[in-house]
Amino acid sequence: MARLRQDEIREKVTAFFKAQLDQYLDRLNRYGMSKNALADAREEMLDHDCMVDLEGVNEQYLPITRFKSKTEVSDADWNDSLPRISLELRKGRRDMLRRVLEAAERLERYSYDDPPVFAPAAPAPTLPASSTLGAAVDDFIAEHSRQWASKTIGQNRAYLNILVEYFGPDRLLATITKQDASEVKKVLQALPSSRNTKPKLKAMPLMQVIKEPGHKKIAAKTINSHIQMFKMFFDWAERHGYAPHTLFEGMKVKKDKASESERKPFSAEQARLIYTELTQNPSGLVRKDSHKWGMLLGMFTGARLNEICQLDIADVQQEGDTWFLNITDEGDDTKSVKSEAGRRKVPLHSQLVRLGFLEFVDSRRNGTRLFPDYSYSANGGYGRNLGRWCNESFLPKLGIKQPGLVFHSLRHTVVTRLGQANVPEPIIQCIVGHARSGVTQEVYLREGYTLDQLSEAIGRFKV
């Protein structure tokens, strides 16, 4: 039997969201809410409505960790009360957002007969106005670490550490304003790109290092990566009751003038030259099977360099008549994927089969890894050797090495050519391991597309 009665669940949900509602209404009364914030609240409310109808245990948008902590619900009580407690928490969040939206709408007009929009709210001493920055960042990283690769966790933690270093870990999120966010943006624009590599800069506090002259600043793309992570964090914090508002909306900087070194796809002529050299080897540049098939897999799947080089023989699988790569981090502890979306099945292009890839796989059956000559390094995974051969030997000797043309350009080429072949963007995202977004993709098409659908799409790629 469930440990929590229905009336107990409802009491706890009511108390939890009543405290949040009081904070929202107080802020709305003092500052108002931007159109973007209201649009986000309305969209989330509609998402909750959709997921209530599904009646499943879905944790998206739910402040589960904070709810259990603030209402003293144990993990055992939570698990024993599923799915009812999850559904009630979702209803509570949905209806709290509805109240906020109703109050915001009333503020858009004057009525001389209506009662006041805001009734004085009693303080809720058991639920603080907001969490400390350090604690919220820890919870945010912990929640998302299940979907992120270890390298991504480290990168995003480094981004958020800028906030912690600037404000201090004990700063309450509710006290961080838009003006504060603007100051953080200025700090990012002054941040040296070599802060984490030069010992002298590494040892300096943040506000001192940005004043050091003579150092190249981080690129606009890197600034925007920080700001995107800050926004994602504050969006999460607001949804989960850690903060009364979101920040960093619309604060990205303009991109730098297109750099010559920015990665780009190969032209049709360059792709055909690469294909001819890999399959016929007229110049004698391809001396290893691992170089040939590693490059061809990149050309016909759009997979990332490390995803290809870490493949096990067992990762080449068949389902029905379709052969595919099972890109996963399962198996060796050193295997990794960039994100949850990186775990995927990528059908083999018919050209790979025709060229003899399956026979190559059979020739490696005595071992475990498909490319055992690619060694592992903590920084580059398994892809360093193939990347260096491609970028420093193969492309230059072919006469097509240019700034921005590297192994990763094979991935750009696949995405570009599939888009030009009218393959829908969500299917391209499934093939190359990008996260799909939106209610339709995240809720109703959560299982993704079938192998047949992906195979038909990837078959549209032509060299």
Q: What is the arrangement of strands in the sheet containing 316-319, beginning at the earlier edge strand?
A: 316-319, 322-327, 344-347
Highest mean pLDDT among 20-29, 179-188, 191-200, 323-332: 179-188
pLDDT recorded at residue 33: 73
Is the pLDDT at 360 greater than 90? The verdict is: yes
Does 36 share its domain with 174?
no
| Residues ≥6 apart with Cβ < 8 Å to 162 | 184, 187, 188, 191, 206, 226
| Packed helices 35-54 and 84-106: angle between N→C axes, nearest 10 degrees | 150
State whether 359 and 418 are in the same domain. yes
Using pLDDT thresholds of 50, 70 and 90, give the confidence band for residue 259. low
What pLDDT, on the 0 to 100 scale, is given for residue 257? 59
Please give the helix or strand (H or E) that residue 323 lies within, else none. Answer: strand 322-327
Last residue of a domain, one of 89, 106, 123: 106
Which domain, by its residues, includes 12?
A: 6-106
**pLDDT value for 55:** 64
Q: Higher pLDDT residue, 264 or 263?
A: 264
- Whether residue 432 is predicted with pLDDT greater than 50 in this model: the reply is yes
- Residues 445, 374, single domain; the answer is yes
Average pLDDT over the chain, rounded to whole? 86
Higher pLDDT, 203 or 285: 285
* 145 and 234 belong to one structural domain: yes
Same domain for 137 and 102: no
The count of structural domains within the chain is: 3
Distance CA 132, CA 169 (A): 7
Percentage above 70 pLDDT, the chain:
90
- pLDDT at 191 > cutoff 90: yes
Tell me whether residue 118 is in a domain.
no
**Inside any domain, residue 249:** no
Q: Which residue has the tokens 């607001």?
A: 238
Q: Is residue 363 domain-shared with residue 438, that is, in the same domain?
A: yes
Q: What are the distances in angstroms from CA 68 to CA 6, 72, 126, 239, 452?
A: 16, 5, 13, 15, 43
- pLDDT tens across 449-459, in order? 899 999 999 99
- 259 found inside a domain: no
Q: Which of 189, 78, 73, 151 is nearest to 310 (CA)?
A: 151
What confidence score (pLDDT) does residue 114 get?
57
Evaluate if residue 441 carries a pLDDT over 70: no
Mean pLDDT of 209-216: 89
pLDDT tens string 59-87:
777 889 889 988 888 888 888 888 888 88
Bridging pattern class, strands 344-347 and 322-327: antiparallel
Is residue 189 very low, low, confident or very high in pLDDT (cuts 50, 70, 90)?
Answer: very high
In a domain? residue 223: yes
Residue 411 predicted with pLDDT over 70: yes
- Any domain includes 127: no
Same domain, 229 and 173: yes
189 lies in the same domain as 294? no
C-alpha–C-alpha distance, residues 218 and 354, integer Å: 46
Measured CA to CA, the distance from residue 77 to residue 84 in angstroms comes to 11
The reply to whether 288 falls in a domain is: yes
Q: What is the pLDDT of residues 367-405, one digit of tens each?
A: 999 999 998 887 678 999 999 999 999 999 999 999 889
- As given in the structure block, the two tokens for residue 150 are 């270890």
pLDDT of 322-343, one tens digit each?
999 999 988 777 888 877 778 8
Q: b/e per residue, 222-257, with b = 16+ CB within 10 A?
A: ebbbbbebbbbbbbbbbbbbbbbbbbbbebbeeeee
How high is the pLDDT of residue 20? Answer: 86
Same domain, 348 and 448: yes
329 and 426 fall within a common domain: yes
- Contact between residue 374 and residue 385 where contact means Cβ atoms under 8 Å apart: yes
Cα–Cα distance for residue pair 20/23, rounded to 1 Å: 5
Indicate whether 310 belongs to any domain.
yes
136 pLDDT higher than 50: yes
pLDDT at 146: 80
Is pLDDT above 60 for 244? Answer: yes
Q: Which of 130, 16, 19, 23 is CA-nearest to residue 73?
A: 16
In a domain, residue 257? The reply is no
Percent of the chain having pLDDT more than 90? 49
Residues 334, 449 within the same domain: yes
Q: Do residues 182 and 67 both lie within one domain?
A: no
pLDDT at 128: 44
